[in-house]
Amino acid sequence: MRFQRVSKAVVVGAAMALALSACAPGGSETSPSASESAGGGNAGAEATTTGLADLGDIATKDGAIKVSIGAPEFISYNGNTPQTYSTYNSGITDRMFASFVYFGTDGKIYPNEDLGSFEKISDDPLTIKYTIADNAKWSDGTDITTADAVLAWATQNLNLNSGSKDKPLFNSVSTDLGDTVPKGPQGDPAGKEFTVEFKAPDPDWQIQTWMLHPAHVVAKKGGLSTEEFVAAVRDGDSKKLEKAAKFWNEGWTTKPGTLPDEADIPVSGPYKLSSWKAGESVTLTANENYYGTPAATKELNFRFLADSGMVQALQNKDLDVIGPQPTVDTLEQLKGLGSAVNIQQGDTLTWEHLDFNFVKGNTMTNLELRKAFAMCVPRQEIVDNLIKPLNPEAQVMNLREVFPFQENYADTVAAAYDGRYDQVDIEGAKKILEEQDAVGTKVRIGYSAPNERRTNEVAQIKSSCDKAGFEIVDAGDPKFFAPGGTQERGDYEVALFAWAGSGQITSGQNIYATGKPQNYGKYSNAEVDAAWETLATSLDPAVHAEQTKKIEKLLWDDLFGIPMFAHPGLSASGADIQNVRHTATQNGIVWNAEQWMRAE
């Protein structure tokens, strides 16, 4: 139940964690639609809101529920570095860490009263008071305190660095909190109350991350007491924090199949890590010391399985819940299982896109070549062939921050995009390549493989763009987004993946603004930076709408990348598994896995 002002990259089947929202900048509050098959996969507890169902006074049942959300290997207990922050890793780690809020199925923000409470005590300056529940403890018995909030602030603070803001001390996927909240959490480090004062209005203040990892563990690994660690953070003493930061960056990331020492991985949520079989699975066991509503089932077993094998595994009862990438074949196979399964479908806040590489020396730093490529990408054909069979209402997506099913979509498109790349123009693309003396330009399209739909997307792009004079190369690679992989090395011209969003307004800044951690292609535009700064420091929806239109137009004019389509949602569960519910947000089908239980 961890949330940040960043987006999640689902690099194989879905997307990477990105900052979108059910209420994107200037967006409506209309909930995306969702439907479930007969039985609904939701027996045993009635959800009266888009939030968690009320399970009443429950006790954890023995047994295990087996789930797969994709083939990628588990990476780390610390899922907050740029190398580990993906929907696959977070699907597991989010079961282990508590936050003050969580996202409902439509991106609505709900308070997590198990951890504590919060209240706005001032508008000018924006000041929030947080109160941690008296009984809230880490699984090793250590109290959850203000010190843990100070650690969360430190890890997202670019002002703690090794002499340059280009070298942050903590290798975090989010780095702007030091500027957003200059003084950090104020309060007794050992206490249960703290306040935060924002430098400027922050439209996403409710979902700022004030609880991540155990400060007492990080401090100890850094050779400090918890009090000394907090003091060093507040004093901005980067030198004193170097050892602790190195542990936070690297110490929890072990070789596949090997968990860190149990003493180093206490949890604040309903589940804890218990075992890891490299290439096979990770098992979570209910946290017997959890202070909140107990996990419904003792074990969750996350299996690393490619989409192509999920339906068969569900049929064989080797899996109980699956979250495959939606394809027509997958849906038909699931329907063929009849009443043995429940199918969950609905809109999602996840969208497919092609992003260019702007690293110096890359072919695609040439705007004319980006234009030629955009002219030959058959977006409508891809949607017609691969998406409409799953969602007949699907359309080509022409924005990044607003979705086709949101009421302000048409108005934003009208202001930002003139339709110049709606139709394939082979002759136009060919002319540009000839004028640029670039016929035969190789374009490596990288993505996380295996991925049937993305392989098909690349094939359709190749069929079209090769006619214009490009040489399209399918650069799918299982390690494309892995630490040290192809994407990190910059060995590609175009990256194909998705961003998965939730209820955030400003997280796109972390993707499109200069120097931000999720700006993987190293794009930079001063006008875009300024527009994001204006948007991110206003609480006025009218300002959000105005700046979103400006940003979208600039990104189209520059051709940051090419939006493709919003993902249709598809998951399934055995008919005997209760409380499995579709969500539109980046958390995917496992968003409420702590509530899953097997019918008696």
Residue 186 and residue 218 in one domain: yes
Q: Is 429 inside any structural domain?
A: yes
Q: Is 262 inside any structural domain?
A: no
Alpha helices by DSSP H, listed for 436-567, are 452-468, 486-489, 509-512, 526-536, 541-558
Using CA atoms, how far apart are residues 534 and 92, in angstroms rounded to an integer?
35
**Residue 157 contacts residue 114 (beta carbons within 8 Å):** no
DSSP one-letter code for 143: B
Look at phi and psi of residue 26 and say left if phi exceeds 0, alpha if psi is from -120 to 50, else beta. left
Which residues, 6 or more positions from 170, have their beta carbon under 8 angstroms from its beta carbon? 154, 155, 156, 157, 160, 245, 248, 249
Here the tokens at position 564 are: 């493709």
Report strand pairing: 34-36 vs 61-70: unpaired
Three-class DSSP labels, 173-235: CCCEHHHHCCCCCECCCCCCEEEEECCCCCCCHHHCCCCCCCHHHHHHHCCCCHHHHHHHHHH
Q: For residue 124, with 0-12 CB atoms within 10 Å meaning exposed, 13-18 middle and 19 or more buried, which class applies?
A: exposed
Here the tokens at position 44 are: 């045993």
Here the tokens at position 168 are: 């942050």
Q: Is 258 inside any structural domain?
A: no
- What angle is formed at CA 30 by the lines to CA 341 and CA 581, rounded to 5 degrees? 20
pTM: 0.77
Residue 361 and residue 428 in one domain: yes
Look at residue 503 in the predicted model and tell me its pLDDT: 60
Choose the final residue of a domain: 181, 216, 251: 251
Q: How many helices (H) and strands (E) does the chain have?
A: 17, 20
Q: Provide the terminal-to-terminal Cα distance of the chain, rounded to the nearest Å.
A: 28
Residue 358 and residue 342 in one domain: no
Q: Is 280 inside any structural domain?
A: yes
Look at residue 110 in the predicted model and tell me its pLDDT: 94
Q: Is 122 helix (H, G, I), strand (E, B) or coil?
A: strand
DSSP one-letter code for 13: S
Look at residue 133 in the predicted model and tell me its pLDDT: 98
Q: Is 32 inside any structural domain?
A: yes
Task: Give the CATH number, domain containing residue 353.
Answer: 3.10.105.10
Residue 404 and residue 544 in one domain: yes
Residue 333 and residue 373 in one domain: no
Locate the DSSP E strands across 24-115.
34-36, 61-70, 101-103, 109-111
Location of structure tokens 């899996």: 319
Location of structure tokens 């999920």: 310
Residue 79 and residue 146 in one domain: no
Location of structure tokens 């595994």: 313
Using CA atoms, how far apart are residues 218 and 229, in angstroms rounded to an integer?
8
Long-range Cβ contacts of 477-484 (<8 Å, 24+ apart): 477/446, 477/447, 477/448, 477/449, 478/71, 478/448, 478/449, 478/450, 480/11, 480/446, 480/447, 480/448, 480/449, 481/9, 481/11, 481/16, 481/86, 481/448, 482/83, 483/75, 483/83, 483/84, 483/253
Residue 27 and residue 72 in one domain: yes
Using CA atoms, how far apart are residues 52 and 50, in angstroms rounded to an integer?
7
Here the tokens at position 575 are: 């008919």
Report strand pairing: 109-111 vs 577-578: unpaired
Q: What is the enclosing helix (H) or strand (E) of 298?
A: strand 297-304
If one counts the domains in the chain, the total is: 3
Which residues, 6 or more positions from 104, have their beta carbon under 8 angstroms from its beta carbon? 49, 50, 51, 52, 110, 583, 585
Q: Is 2 inside any structural domain?
A: no
Residue 326 and residue 425 in one domain: no
| 185 residue type, one letter | P
Nearest Cα to Cα of residue 404 among 349, 457, 354, 453: 349
Q: Is 450 inside any structural domain?
A: yes
Task: Give the CATH number, domain containing residue 314.
Answer: 3.40.190.10
Residue 208 and residue 292 in one domain: no
Look at residue 2 in the predicted model and tell me its pLDDT: 34
Question: pLDDT of the chain along its 600 residues, tens only?
Answer: 334 445 544 433 222 333 322 222 222 222 333 344 333 333 455 677 899 999 999 999 999 999 999 999 999 999 999 889 888 999 999 999 999 999 999 888 999 999 999 999 999 999 999 999 999 999 999 999 999 999 999 999 999 988 776 789 999 988 889 999 999 999 999 999 999 999 999 998 998 999 999 999 999 999 999 999 999 999 999 999 999 999 999 999 999 999 999 999 999 999 999 999 999 999 999 999 999 999 999 999 999 999 999 999 999 999 999 999 888 899 999 999 999 999 999 888 889 999 999 999 999 999 999 999 999 999 999 999 999 988 888 999 999 999 998 889 999 999 999 999 999 999 999 999 999 999 999 999 999 998 889 999 999 999 999 999 999 999 999 989 887 888 989 999 999 999 977 667 888 998 999 999 889 999 999 999 999 999 998 989 999 999 999 999 999 999 999 999 999 999 999 999 999 999 988 889 999 999 999 998
Nearest Cα to Cα of residue 505 among 103, 173, 117: 103
Look at residue 163 in the predicted model and tell me its pLDDT: 77
**Residue 238 contacts residue 161 (beta carbons within 8 Å):** yes
Which residues, 6 or more positions from 557, have their beta carbon under 8 angstroms from its beta carbon? none
Residue 284 and residue 298 in one domain: yes
Domain that holds residue 299: 8-48+58-85+271-347+569-598
DSSP one-letter code for 60: P
Look at residue 502 in the predicted model and tell me its pLDDT: 66
Q: Is 264 inside any structural domain?
A: no
Look at residue 33 in the predicted model and tell me its pLDDT: 37
Residue 304 and residue 424 in one domain: no
Residue 182 and residue 212 in one domain: yes
Look at residue 46 in the predicted model and tell me its pLDDT: 64
For residue 281, the cross-strand partners are 277, 303
